A and B are shown apart, each in its own frame.
Chain A
Amino acid sequence: MNSSVISQVFNFILLVLIQVLILNHINFLGYINPYLYILFIVLYPIKNDRIVFLLLSFLLGILVDIFSDSGGIHAAACVTIAYIRPLVLKWSFGTVYEHQTIKFNNVDFGSKLMYISILTVIHNLILFLLEVFNFSEILLTLQKTLFSSIFTILLCIIVTIIFSKRTK
């Protein structure tokens, strides 16, 4: 048990509580909610045991599902972005990631925005596809995905900026 594990556990619980107690009830313009809890998956250490990471993401999703009575839609979206995260990392950070030297606090803003945006949009798309569960309502699905993604990306960026530790 080192301090990194403890802080991950703390993040995990805090993000789930913030999500289910506050953010799920924002309902901006009737249906737009930010899904800040994916920040756990976004900021999870790069050097990890992928099996543990996948299982943790599933647990994160299913906890949010239990609180919001939504079956397994958050869990499905979470394991998917956890699974494709290495690809997205490689794509948005390029060689920095290949050398495993990346620190989220001191990468340039553009690639960080790109990284968070891709994960958020994929997460929201799967989430709303499964929630609406009806291909004839594809416009409603895309509309929900678009607005929720914008809201989520904004909030994620703000939170990462506010809580980034300046380790220089």
Chain B
Amino acid sequence: MQQILNFIIRNKNFLLYLLLLSLAIFFTIQTHSYQKSKFINSANFLSGGIYTRLNNINQYFDLKTQNEYLSDENARLRNRLQNYHISLEENYVDTTGFDGSYLFRPVLVIKNSYSATTNILLINKGSNDSIQQDFGLITPKGILGIVDKTSKNYATVISILNSKSKISAQLKKTNHFGTLTWDGISPKTVQLIDIPKIAPIVIGDTIVTSGRSVIFPKGIQIGTIESYKLDAAENNFEINVSLFNDMTNIEHAYIIEHLDAPEINNILNLSNEQ
């Protein structure tokens, strides 16, 4: 017993170092397993509050671009509204719109990162505004990510520029679908993998969300095909997608809530159990 105590006292620095290092690595591994990091995230009052103050100041420097951006979107929506009235008069039902019922909420991205391999965004609304895990985040130009952690007033979003992120996407022209991932290199391009070899791929084609998960509706734009090659097994295509969104300059965004998601998940779980 005496010897054990002596050993601990003699090596107390090294033991403390090992303890702290393993604690840090434990936190790291937790963030690498999706949806499990409980302790270390920026959706808390300290970092959330500081980022909100910083964003209040930074907003002013970017007002002009963001205004143009929003008025662009208004114009586009006005166009669609006008066409919609016309199509109603012609007694024609638009079946290409989003199916299911989706609720959009405007949010501000108060912290954006794109230089690490696991990038996480912070938005200024949380569980008080009924934001929950697995809601989608988009801008008018394309998708941004999926909500991960929420606190009362803030939520973290796993960006599509995150090597953990896996989102179902497809070609706009045909229904061949694959998984959207990121290789951690450029914030302008992401990778679409597992597209079957038989799919007709042309450089410049548009990639959209597939609507196969309950997070994003079908048909939200992502980007265009920049280049493609066969993967190692030579069965599937690996496509480099250049994003419509400028991921380095993001402020106004929308949270998408799929109102039928609980029902769909429920029935999926039921059939999985059988």
Determine whether the beta carbon of B42 is less than 8 Å from that of A69. Answer: yes
Q: Is residue A125 contacting chain B, with contact meaning CB distance below 8 A?
A: no
**Docked pose: A31 CA to B248 CA in angstroms:** 11
Determine whether the beta carbon of A131 is less than 8 Å from that of B47. Answer: no
**Docked pose: A131 CA to B25 CA in angstroms:** 11
**Docked pose: A132 CA to B183 CA in angstroms:** 10
Determine whether the beta carbon of A132 is less than 8 Å from that of B40. Answer: no
The stretch from B14-22, B76-84, B129-137, B209-217 touching chain A is: B14-22
Determine whether the beta carbon of B31 is less than 8 Å from that of A76. Answer: no
For chain A, the bracket of interface size reads: 35 or more
**Docked pose: A33 CA to B119 CA in angstroms:** 14
The stretch from B108-116, B235-243, B253-261, B266-274 touching chain A is: B108-116
The stretch from A54-62, A89-97, A106-114, A155-163 touching chain B is: A54-62
Q: Is residue B227 contacting chain A, with contact meaning CB distance below 8 A?
A: no
**Docked pose: A31 CA to B23 CA in angstroms:** 27
Q: What string of 1s and 0s marks CB contacts (under 8 Å) between A119-139 and chain B?
A: 000000000001111100100
Interface residues on chain B, number (Cβ under 8 Å): 42
Given the known A-B contacts A21-B50, A65-B40, A70-B118, are A76 and B28 also in contact in the complex, defined by CB atoms under 8 Å? yes
From the candidates A24, A50, A66, A75, name the one contacting B20 in the complex (CB within 8 A). Answer: A75
**Docked pose: A24 CA to B44 CA in angstroms:** 19
28 pairs, A vs B, C-beta closer than 8 Å: A20-B50, A31-B115, A32-B115, A51-B12, A51-B13, A51-B16, A58-B20, A58-B24, A66-B44, A66-B46, A66-B47, A68-B113, A69-B31, A69-B42, A69-B113, A69-B120, A70-B116, A70-B118, A71-B30, A72-B25, A72-B27, A72-B28, A72-B40, A75-B23, A131-B118, A140-B117, A140-B184, A140-B185
